[in-house]
DNA sequence: CTGAAAGCGCTTACAG
DNA sequence: CTGAAAGCGCTTACAG
């Protein structure tokens, strides 16, 4: 059978063996010209390359992985009880950046989601023999311990864990909380209401602490009555918490509102706007994260910017180093958050 | 070497061979108890299962794929020139649904992004020997032709192509456009301004046609001066187009605005709100898609809901059938869009 | 019910 | 410079 008759057939998945026979050389030689390592005469090389082009041969990455012991795949596990998964305003951005960076380094990426305590996704990724794992959000210690048990590179982005062995990529949330407080305080606000997201999340907890700590230092400790704890961190909950606390809020003549993330802040802001509260004239509002929506809202939301793109990018770069060298310089990478002032606090 | 000494070692990737020797049976038997097909004595089964548990054996999916000829992986290629990729308000939702459904069917999913004309991602997925491919958004014909060349199941979600061989999963955009026009017309609006997204996108084009067609039927054809063409479909562009057309808009005393997607509508709305235009009293505004942001905005945006979750879900179900049976009932699956009325058109 | 053998599509030494 | 052989970790007939 000659090359042309093969070309006219429907393209099936070819093998290196077929390429070898069509080129009149051995499998070994084909393998060498494809990989570019090992010798091959110019003539052999030329012929092989030509055949490969003609039959549109695509090397089988599965077979390659089988012998090379690495798949060129990484897994991203995003803990979420339910959607939004990738459409989460913060994690989606981190993931975008992970995808872009991974592609540049020729990794393919599996994206999975799982319950906080479940080992299922992790096991699945382990079976697929991913070269590395990126954990986003909060994972229980049993999941971490389980992953640690196996020889796989992994790290955690924006996560919660007391485990110091785990490589962390995080925002300086406490410092961000301080900056937020500093901004509002500098504007003259003394009676500030706070909507605090779930405190078992490291970031919400640190942001709240940073915020309150700064005001305390200034001599204006935050009274317990000025903090409302949200049981979730989404828009609907922000709206609802504000609604529930509307009485308290108005009675104590608060002049500003801080929420430990933008989504909560925006939910609360929608409620305030519905009540015809003028923002920022009557109430200044601040969030945290700088999700896209913060700039889109009217009025634009003042916030503390988390380096989502940098976090995603660096997580892949660091994971790549971990995969290739088995170790990495620092256990903890922290990013300085930045104050973004928009109309919601501007006078 | 006995089981206990092995357990105490760091867990390396085990092989079926080790399990066999630890259990005192052959590889074949181990394979049979794992797969559950083929006979194995209760004693053998018990012993093997116990050893597997003890050493935390994870079967190597790569080796499995090598022989079974299917990887259990599917690839999602999302065409995007640049971010947002997964954080795109519409595609992110579709992807969430794809991830959830794929997980339920035990598929792992690769998420990649690519330029419209590039074959790179497709080739990469082909080399990884994915069982199937989901194409989201617009792909040029050369990419489609290229994929078609290989024996891989694939389909297109919310995409643009004249190729009738391709299985499509789409929203009834033209009908949606008619519904939008019907709603505004029913409210008494006769002078409606339109911001139309890039017309090379099937959906923007059909939405515009449906909208204009309906008004024409009612005897109120849309004058060319009432349509502004946007060169992109994002928020910034919506804002900018509204800004540029503000003069025309006000002069011709338009009472309503329709944009071919929510993001454009919201951008325009932000501009109007900044100009202190009262919505909906002075201008009613409508978008299309029903992204999360539409409900979050103040005022909430009236829109035409696209079945994002259903589209994502069904794309996986259909792809799965295609993978398993090589064919599928219908070439085209269309969803009926639904009108969602919110404050932006409510009086 | 069980094991030895062959084979999936590659790569990697090792002879020549 | 090139080819034959072994092997990656499984599964699948095929004998026994």
The pLDDT, as a whole number, for residue B238 is 98
Q: Which residue is nearest to nucleotide D2 (CA to C1')?
A: A29
In 3D space, the residue among A211, A154, A202, A219 whose CA is nearest the CA of residue A178 turns out to be A211
Please indicate whether, in this complex, the C-beta atoms of A87 and B85 are within 8 angstroms of each other.
no
Render each residue's pLDDT in chain A as its tens digit; 347 residues. Answer: 344 444 434 456 689 999 998 999 999 999 999 988 878 888 889 999 999 999 999 999 999 999 999 999 999 999 888 888 999 999 999 999 999 999 999 999 999 998 767 889 999 999 999 999 999 988 888 889 999 988 899 999 998 777 888 999 999 999 999 999 999 999 999 999 999 999 999 999 999 999 999 999 999 999 999 999 999 999 999 999 999 999 988 888 899 999 999 999 999 999 999 999 999 999 999 999 999 999 999 999 999 999 999 999 999 999 999 999 988 888 899 999 999 999 999 97
In this complex, the nucleotide whose C1' atom is nearest to the CA atom of residue A19 is: C9
The pLDDT, as a whole number, for residue B38 is 75
Query: Which of B13, B113, B270 is closest, CB to CB, to A296?
Result: B270
The pLDDT, as a whole number, for residue A252 is 82
Is the torsion defined by CA of A314, A318, A321, A323 positive or negative? negative
The pLDDT, as a whole number, for residue A140 is 85
B130 CA to D10 C1' distance (Å): 19
Average pLDDT, chain A: 92
DSSP alpha helix (H) spans, chain B? 3-8, 16-23, 27-35, 42-55, 61-68, 91-104, 120-127, 141-148, 173-186, 202-217, 235-244, 246-251, 262-274, 292-296, 308-325
The pLDDT, as a whole number, for residue B291 is 97
Query: Which of A63, A87, A99 is closest, CB to CB, to B96?
Result: A87
Write out pLDDT tens, residues A36-75: 887 888 888 999 999 999 999 999 999 999 999 999 999 9
Strands B132-136 and B256-259: unpaired
Please indicate whether, in this complex, the C-beta atoms of B99 and A92 are within 8 angstroms of each other.
no
The pLDDT, as a whole number, for residue B114 is 84
Chain D positions with an atom below 7 A of a protein C-beta are 1-5, 7-13
What is the number of alpha carbons within 13 Å of residue B322 lying toward its C-beta?
22
pLDDT beneath 70, residues of chain B = 1-13, 116
């Amino acid at each position: 059978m000659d090359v042309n008759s093969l070309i006219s057939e429907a393209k099936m998945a070819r093998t290196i063996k077929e390429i070898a026979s069509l080129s009149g050389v051995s499998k070994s030689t084909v393998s060498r010209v494809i990989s570019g390592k090992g010798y091959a005469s110019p003539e052999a090389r030329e012929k092989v390359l030509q055949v490969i082009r003609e039959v549109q041969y695509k090397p089988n990455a599965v077979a390659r992985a089988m012998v090379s012991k690495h798949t060129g795949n990484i897994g991203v596990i995003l803990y979420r009880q339910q959607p939004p998964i990738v459409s989460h305003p913060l994690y989606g951005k981190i993931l975008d950046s992970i995808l872009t960076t991974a592609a540049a380094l020729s990794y393919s990426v599996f994206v999975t989601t799982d319950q906080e305590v479940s080992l299922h996704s992790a096991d699945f990724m382990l079976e697929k023999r991913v070269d590395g794992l990126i954990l986003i959000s909060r994972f229980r210690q049993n999941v971490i311990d389980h992953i640690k048990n196996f020889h796989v590179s992994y790290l955690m982005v924006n996560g919660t864990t007391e485990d110091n062995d785990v490589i962390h990529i995080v925002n300086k949330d406490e410092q961000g909380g301080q900056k937020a407080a500093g901004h509002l305080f500098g504007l003259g606000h003394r009676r500030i209401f706070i909507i605090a997201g779930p405190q078992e999340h490291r970031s919400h907890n640190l942001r709240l602490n940073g915020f309150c700590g700064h005001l305390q230092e200034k001599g204006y400790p935050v009274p317990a009555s000025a903090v409302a704890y949200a049981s979730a961190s989404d828009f609907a909950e922000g709206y609802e918490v504000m609604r529930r606390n509307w009485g308290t809020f108005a009675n104590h003549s608060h002049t500003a509102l801080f929420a430990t993330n933008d989504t909560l802040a925006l939910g609360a802001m929608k409620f305030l706007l519905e009540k015809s509260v003028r923002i920022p004239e009557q109430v200044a509002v601040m969030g945290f994260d700088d999700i896209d929506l913060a700039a889109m809202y009217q009025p634009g939301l003042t916030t503390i910017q988390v380096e989502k793109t940098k976090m995603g990018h660096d997580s892949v770069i660091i994971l790549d180093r971990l995969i290739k060298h088995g170790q990495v310089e620092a256990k903890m990478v922290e990013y300085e958050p930045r104050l973004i002032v928009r109309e919601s606090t501007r006078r």
